[in-house]
Amino acid sequence: MLTEKPETHACSCGGKTGGCAKKQETVEETAPHHGHDHGHEAAEELTDDEAARKLSMSRRNFMKHSAIVAGAATAAACSTEELEKFTAHRLREMTQPELKQLIKRLEADYKKQFKKNVEVRATPAAEGVKFGYALDLSRCIGCRRCVHACVKENNQSRPTPEGEHNNPIHWIRVLEMEKEKGIDLSDANPYYNPAEVPREGHFYMPVQCQQCENPPCVKVCPVQATWKEPDGIVVIDYEWCIGCRYCMVACPYGARRFNWAEPNLPADQLNPNTHVLGNRPRPKGVVEKCTFCIQRTREGRYPACVEICPVGARKFGNMLDPKSEIRAVLESKRVFILKEDLNTRPKFFYFFGI
The binding track of 164-183 with respect to another protein, each residue x by CB under 8 A or -, is xxxxx-x--x----------
- Binding residue for another protein, selected from 197, 244, 265, 338, defined by CB under 8 A: 197
Considering the rule CB under 8 A, would residue 107 count as an interface residue with another protein? Answer: no
Rounded Cα–Cα distance for residues 48 and 12 (Å): 20
Cβ atoms within 10 A of the Cβ of 290, count?
A: 25
Considering the rule CB under 8 A, would residue 194 count as an interface residue with another protein? Answer: yes
Helical H runs in 30-93? 38-53, 59-77, 80-87
Half-sphere exposure for 199 (CA within 13 Å, toward CB): 12
CA 30 to chain centre: 24
Q: Which amino acid is at 287?
A: V
Rounded Cα–Cα distance for residues 227 and 48 (Å): 40
Residue closer to another protein, measured from CB, 166 or 269: 166
- Binding residue for another protein, selected from 28, 196, 268, 341, defined by CB under 8 A: 196
Rounded Cα–Cα distance for residues 124 and 236 (Å): 14
Q: Which stretch binds another protein (CB under 8 A): 13-21, 39-47, 64-72, 192-200?
A: 192-200
Half-sphere exposure for 220 (CA within 13 Å, toward CB): 13
Residue closer to another protein, measured from CB, 218 or 309: 309
Beta bridge partners of 178: 202
Residue closer to another protein, measured from CB, 42 or 205: 205
Half-sphere exposure for 343 (CA within 13 Å, toward CB): 0
- Binding residue for another protein, selected from 137, 141, 177, 251, defined by CB under 8 A: 141
Contact indicator for 171, 209 with CB cutoff of 8 Å = yes
Closest CB 164 distance from another protein, rounded Å: 7
The binding track of 208-247 with respect to another protein, each residue x by CB under 8 A or -, is ----------------------------------------
Closest CB 300 distance from another protein, rounded Å: 5
Cβ atoms within 10 A of the Cβ of 329, count?
A: 20
Residue closer to another protein, measured from CB, 143 or 342: 143
- Footprint of another protein on 266-325 (CB under 8 A): 297, 300-302, 306-307, 309-312, 315-318, 321, 324-325
Beta bridge partners of 203: 177
Closest CB 173 distance from another protein, rounded Å: 7
- Footprint of another protein on 249-268 (CB under 8 A): 260
Dmax (CA) for the chain in angstroms is 82
Residue closer to another protein, measured from CB, 104 or 301: 301
Closest CB 152 distance from another protein, rounded Å: 11
Rounded Cα–Cα distance for residues 31 and 35 (Å): 8
Cβ atoms within 10 A of the Cβ of 25, count?
A: 14
Q: Which stretch binds another protein (CB under 8 A): 15-23, 187-195, 263-271, 338-346?
A: 187-195
Closest CB 178 distance from another protein, rounded Å: 17
**Which SS3 state, helix, strand or coil, does residue 314 take?**
strand
Interface positions with another protein (CB under 8 A)? 136, 141-145, 147-148, 159, 163-168, 170, 173, 190-198, 260, 297, 300-302, 306-307, 309-312, 315-318, 321, 324-325, 328-329, 332-333, 353
